[in-house]
Amino acid sequence: MRDPAVEIRDAEEGEIGLLARLWYDSWQDAHATIVPVELPKLRTVERLEERLAAMLPSVRVVNLSGEPAGLCAIKDDELYLLYLSAKARGSGVAAALLADAETRLSQGGVAVAWLACAVGNDRAARFYEKCGWHRVGTEFKQLDTPNGTFPLEVWRYEKRLS
Ligand SMILES: CC(C)(COP(=O)(O)OP(=O)(O)OC[C@H]1O[C@@H](n2cnc3c(N)ncnc32)[C@H](O)[C@@H]1OP(=O)(O)O)[C@@H](O)C(=O)NCCC(=O)NCCS
């Protein structure tokens, strides 16, 4: 049974700024040292706010003891983003947020979901593998930045949803 202090819910318009900051900090933690040097400078809080506003209906938030501790979004058949605050990592809430996303993908008719994980993001890779995702290859993903798209080498993971 899930910890009653953990609540997973839809994101709200009034918290876009807070969630963009959480996404930004978490992205920088995981990627600043493993991606090409120009990419972290292109990841601004303002751009993440715009992107969150555009995808708000697909964004879910995990609250830990009443505070937003992570966010997750799906896009078509993709687990599009999953980011936890530093203090929430290792607590088990990531698995709960991922399970929530897998349920939404499956309910939307997706049989095989996929996600992109930056090459070298070993903690995330380990997490996905322990949650039943399989690395199927390495490819380039076109990331959205204020200067247009940026090709990033990623591990592609897939999972068959039952
Ligand atoms: C990815 C993320 C959501 C996973 O959540 P989490 O709470 O950290 O996951 P867990 O602690 O349950 O699992 C992480 C696993 O990686 C292991 N790990 C930690 N650091 C590691 C490293 N440097 N290399 C390899 N494995 C590592 C942990 O020991 C754990 O494995 P174990 O349970 O077998 O011991 C979270 O770490 C996060 O938000 N990271 C920053 C943003 C990010 O990378 N998002 C994903 C983008 S694709």
Instruction: Please give the pLDDT value at position 20.
Output: 98
In angstroms, what CA-CA distances link 28 with 24, 37, 97, 108, 111? 6, 12, 20, 31, 32
Ligand 1 centroid, distance to 89 Cα (angstroms): 7
Residue nearest ligand 1's atom 13 by CA: 127
124 lines ligand 1 (CB under 6 A): yes
Residue nearest ligand 1's atom 33 by CA: 127
6-10 vs 112-118, strand pairing mode? unpaired
Instruction: Please give the pLDDT value at position 65.
Output: 87
Instruction: Please give the pLDDT value at position 144.
Output: 85
Instruction: Please give the pLDDT value at position 133.
Output: 98
Instruction: Please give the pLDDT value at position 95.
Output: 96
In order, the DSSP letters of 7-29 are: EEEE--GGGHHHHHHHHHHHHHH
The Cα 158–Cα 110 span in angstroms is 12
Give the residue ranges of the chain where pLDDT is below 70.
1-2, 4
Which residues contact residue 30 at a Cβ distance below 8 angstroms, ignoring those fewer than 6 apart? 118, 121, 123, 124
Instruction: Please give the pLDDT value at position 146.
Output: 84
Instruction: Please give the pLDDT value at position 1.
Output: 56
81 lines ligand 1 (CB under 6 A): no
Closest atom of ligand 1 relative to the 118 alpha carbon: 48
The Cα 159–Cα 48 span in angstroms is 27
The Cα 87–Cα 68 span in angstroms is 11
Q: Please count the other Cβ atoms lying within 10 Å of the Cβ belonging to residue 16.
A: 18
Instruction: Please give the pLDDT value at position 119.
Output: 98
Length in residues, the chain: 162
